[in-house]
A and B are shown apart, each in its own frame.
Chain A
Amino acid sequence: MFKPWLPFEWIVAIRFLREGRLQTLFIVSGVALGVAVIVFMSALMAGLQTNLIHRVLSAQAHIQLLPPQEVSRPLRQGGDAAGGEVEGPTVQPPLQRLKSIDQWQTVATQIRAMPDVLVVSPVAGGSALVVRGAASRAVTVAGIEPDAYLRIVDIGDKIVRGSAQVAAADILVGTELASDLGVDLGDKLRVATADGTASTLTILGIFDLGNKPANQRITYMALHTAQSLLGLPGGATSLEVSVADVYAAEVIAQRITTATGVEADSWIRTNAQFFTAVSAQTTANTAIRFFVGLSVAFGIASVLAVAVVQKSREIGILRAMGISRAQILRLFLLQGALLGLGGSVVGSAAGALGLFLWQRAAKNADGTALFPLVLDPALFTVALLLATATGLLSAVAPARRAARLDPVVAIRG
């Protein structure tokens, strides 16, 4: 019997759909398949992107400030000549010397005061040679203030042995460097620069950045230690900045450049290729959604068009008993919407199941998940709403035909 809270159109629409069993089943499966594909694909891509961004940002600050590059200047003739310039025969790019950011403390204070900026941390970086007995390796030295810097790039997370809280006589090395030199925690390394400065540091921690060259080349030490080693007393070769919204990094970087006059690069700019790939993926995804949506719409429209023909006599009878055109119109619009809704509910469930199975099947070599999948409720809500709206829209033409049927013709058959 009829549920008292269901309106007339719903009652009839549901009964008609139930009566047309096989047709309903086919079209619901079709819609479900489309929705499942979209849900699966979208969640996978979102997961992949989030994971890649996470990886990029765990090794890099959101924004990095660098001192200006040294540019070639034409030779200038001094003396009495009337200001005429004499160009050198060739203009070569000058050797890039280590250079500190002018007044970096002032700049850092200024940036810290800006909205959306979380942490600002100076780094003194340069090249050096680590020596252990007869072996030596060229490395990059990064002098950091661990408290601030670890909140920007979480080396602590990548430490496999030891600690990241470097003090004056400590150094952090990568796993590859450690095994190349045959050293371990607590061993001493001599670090020397080209101009002869050197100091002996103790290995406090060994890290794995997930990338072999980085594990071979990069070393961390305290800011002061690096400053004296590199001949940059009190200087910083870069300022690392982290911000609240990683996607706003480029905008904030531009604001920083405007405000301080120091060149600021966001992770978005330095990873431009990655973003090109992401946007190409997004375009492909949108195209797939569009065509799946289109075929869903055609499917529902054609099933309903057939239903209108099959049911035309019954439509005529309904009209004869006083059912209005508007009611007939709503009755068929509703069938379209219900097909879309039903299909998307089944499809969302199937998509979620597919994601779950995929996650269980696709594993890293070490058995951990390839990357964490997030089942975003918004994705399912959007899929449900879009499929229902598509069903409704594709029902418009058949529903109007049904509503316009001449009852006399429909009943005569």
Chain B
Amino acid sequence: MQLRRVRKIYHAGTPIATEVLHGIDLVVQRGEFCAVVGPSGSGKSTLLNIVGLLDRPTSGTLAVCGRETTRLDDGALTRLRGHSIGFVFQHHNLITAFTAVENVMMPMLGAAGFPNDAMRVRAAVLIDAVGLKRWQDNPAGNLSGGQQQRVALARALAMDPPLLLADEPTGNLDTRSADEVFALLRRFNRDHGTTVLFVTHNAVLADRCDRTIEVVDGQIAAS
């Protein structure tokens, strides 16, 4: 994954433009486990959304999994995102109309168009892997915050993406739940070689990552 001179300017409905990212150059190797840290408002989420193809850079280029993305249209970006990138956000990650295991099936279902047994089995395996076998048929809204984040993690891995983007996945959790989620991230990184970008304000967790990328005022301060 490689970013070159990526800038992002927000207009936010006013003529005043805010430049949030000022020419970011960043290379992350396959299989790296990186913490993304920095003060609030420094642009961490913006960076992650751009890397995750949810947002487009105002200028600069971005290659994900060796694929140049600047010229791709929305449909191609969506497909690439679906197959190559898993997301976990800070909270409310799940679709409440579905059960835990159905949430995990969702990306596979969306990509295939129709449900099948293979995705059912894979979803059950992933739910088991995050330790929620007993809760797999609970409506997503009935799970605790920590359980929801673990389901979200299982779902992010459903398509076996090479890149996992987690934007403060432990931000709303107590220390024990946060540790569990972090341990899962580590395990997936180790077992599947999944590249992980993990945004956190938790210095302890950040220290346990292989690499720390520090974002300050829209620039990479250290990495």
Contacts and interface: CB of A to CB of B under 8 A. Distances in A.
Q: Do A and B bind each other?
A: yes
Interface of A: 1-8, 11-12, 15-16, 18-19, 313-314, 317-327, 407-408, 411-412
B114 A4 contact: yes
22 contacts: A1-B102, A2-B109, A2-B115, A3-B115, A4-B115, A7-B113, A8-B109, A314-B95, A318-B106, A318-B110, A320-B81, A320-B87, A321-B155, A322-B81, A322-B82, A322-B111, A322-B159, A323-B82, A324-B75, A324-B78, A325-B74, A327-B110
Contacts of A16: 97
A24 to B, nearest CB: 12
A7 B54 contact: no
Contact of B52 (A1, A3, A320, A327): A320
- Most B CB contacts (10 A, CB to CB) among A1, A11, A320 go to A320
B61 interface: no
Interface in B22-67: 45, 49, 52, 54-55
Contacts of A322: 78-79, 81-83, 107, 110-111, 159
A200 to B, nearest CB: 89
A318 B96 CA distance: 12
A413 to B, nearest CB: 8
A129 B116 CA distance: 90
A3 B114 CA distance: 9
A383 B90 CA distance: 47
Interface of B: 45, 49, 52, 54-55, 74-75, 78-79, 81-83, 86-87, 89, 92-98, 102, 105-107, 109-116, 120, 155-156, 159
Contacts of B89: 317, 320, 411
Contact of B114 (A5, A19, A323): A5
Contact of A15 (B87, B98, B159): B98
Contacts of B92: 313
A408 B120 contact: no
B219 to A, nearest CB: 20
A320 B54 contact: yes
Given A321-B81, A321-B107, 15 more contacts: A5-B114, A7-B113, A8-B109, A8-B110, A8-B113, A18-B97, A19-B96, A313-B92, A321-B87, A321-B156, A322-B81, A322-B111, A407-B54, A411-B54, A412-B45
A319 B82 CA distance: 9
Contact of B78 (A7, A319, A411): A319
A11 B92 CA distance: 21
A408 B113 contact: no
Given A15-B97, A314-B95, A8 B159 contact: no
A353 to B, nearest CB: 32
A4 B116 contact: yes
B111 to A, nearest CB: 6
Contacts of A318: 95, 106, 110
Given A15-B97, A16-B97, A19-B97, A321 B82 contact: yes
A321 B74 CA distance: 14
Nearest to A19: B97
A324 B82 CA distance: 9
Nearest to A316: B54
A86 to B, nearest CB: 95
Contact of A408 (B55, B74, B109): B55
A317 B78 contact: no
Contacts of B110: 8, 318, 321-323, 327
Contacts of B98: 15
Contacts of B114: 4-8
A314 B97 CA distance: 10
A306 to B, nearest CB: 16
A411 B45 CA distance: 11
A15 B116 CA distance: 18
A85 B159 CA distance: 106
- 6 tightest Cβ-Cβ pairs between the two chains A and B: A322-B82, A2-B115, A15-B97, A19-B97, A321-B107, A323-B110
A408 B54 contact: yes
A363 B51 CA distance: 75
Nearest to B46: A408
Contact of A2 (B55, B74, B105, B111): B105
Nearest to B109: A8
Nearest to A411: B89
Nearest to A320: B87
A2 to B, nearest CB: 4
Contacts of A19: 96-97
Contact of A317 (B95, B109, B115): B95
Contacts of B81: 320-322
A317 B87 CA distance: 9
Nearest to A321: B107
B112 to A, nearest CB: 8
A319 B49 CA distance: 12
Contacts of B54: 319-320, 407-408, 411
Contacts of B120: 1
B78 A6 contact: no
A38 to B, nearest CB: 32
A355 B92 CA distance: 49
B110 to A, nearest CB: 4
Contacts of A324: 75, 78-79
Contacts of A6: 114-115
B78 A325 contact: yes
